[in-house]
């Protein structure tokens, strides 16, 4: 957190974990810390976007992150199980309302990029992206797009 507070946006940071060492808790804690982090000028991230590569892991991370903060509107769970509307509609709403933490799968991430690219107001915002890249399924064009961020 200290490096992100000092160096700000536009940088990449790495947190390494071994299997069974509490990665989901670390991701949840990092997401919550980044969602409230302010720089010296009082600027903060509009949203922290957490990207996972599998639905099972997505559900696990959603539950873990939600446990850190039960207040309505803090965590956007972009899935088919909760709330009304399609995943794309939920994602658009979460981005437009600057939901503090948005959780998506890597399959949904291109829709995040497209929504930001197609909206003048979203382009001007600041985002932190946390990517769980530990799994071998993170290959292909979507993973390359994610790594560019």
Q: What pLDDT digit, counting tens, does each position of 113-126 carry?
A: 888 888 889 999 98
0.85 cut: is pTM over it?
Answer: no
Q: Which of 127, 108, 114 is nearest to 44 (CA)?
A: 127
User: For residue 46, what pLDDT band results from cuts at 50, 70 and 90?
Assistant: very high
Q: Which residue has the tokens 């309302």?
A: 97
DSSP string, 17-74: --TTS-HHHHHHHHHHHHHH-B-TTS-B-SEEEEEESSHHHHHHHHHHHHHH--STTS
Going along the chain from its start, the domains and CATH numbers come out as: 23-148 (3.40.50)
């Amino acid at each position: 957190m200290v490096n992100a507070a000092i160096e700000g946006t536009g940088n990449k940071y790495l947190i390494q974990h071994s299997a069974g060492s509490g990665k989901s808790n670390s991701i949840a804690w990092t997401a919550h810390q980044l969602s409230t982090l302010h720089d010296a000028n009082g600027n903060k991230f509009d949203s922290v976007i957490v990207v996972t590569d599998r639905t099972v892991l997505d559900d696990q991370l959603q539950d873990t992150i939600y446990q850190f903060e039960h207040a309505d509107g803090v965590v956007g769970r972009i899935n088919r199980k909760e709330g009304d509307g399609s995943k794309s509609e939920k994602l658009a709403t979460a981005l437009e309302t600057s939901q503090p933490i948005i959780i998506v799968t890597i399959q949904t991430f291109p829709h995040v990029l497209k929504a930001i690219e197609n909206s003048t107001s979203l382009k001007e915002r600041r985002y932190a992206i946390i990517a769980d890249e530990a799994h071998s399924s993170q290959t292909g064009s979507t993973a390359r797009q994610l790594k560019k961020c």
